[in-house]
Amino acid sequence: MDALKKWQLVLLLLVVSLLVGCKEAIEVWHTQPDYYRVSVTDQDPEKNQLIVRNNEGVRVSLIS
């Protein structure tokens, strides 16, 4: 496993561990085993965070 993949795995584990407390605000979609999309909604429905992993890498976006 190269260094980039190790950092991606560490980042993914960190994000998942931070989101565990949100339970009902998390939606996860898998398109392939290595590709996913995670949507986290705050109590304010206008605030939403999106985490996407695809062939271009991992992207985190704040949608408001």
Residue 59 CA, chain-centre distance (Å), reads 8
The per-residue pLDDT for range 5-53, each reduced to its tens digit, is 888 888 887 777 666 655 567 677 777 778 888 888 777 777 788 888 8
Q: What is the pLDDT of residue 40?
A: 80
- The conformational region for residue 41 under phi > 0 = left, psi -120 to 50 = alpha, else beta, is beta
What is the number of other CB atoms lying within 10 angstroms of the CB of residue 49?
A: 19
- Residue 64, pLDDT > 80, answer no
**Cα–Cα distance measured from residue 49 to residue 28, given in angstroms and rounded to the nearest whole number:** 12
Closest CA to 8 of 34, 28, 31, 33: 34
Which tokens hold the place of 37? Answer: 């999309």
H/E stretch holding 14 reads helix 3-19
Residue 31: give the domain boundaries: 3-63
Please report the pLDDT score of residue 24 as a whole number: 62
Domain count, the chain: 1
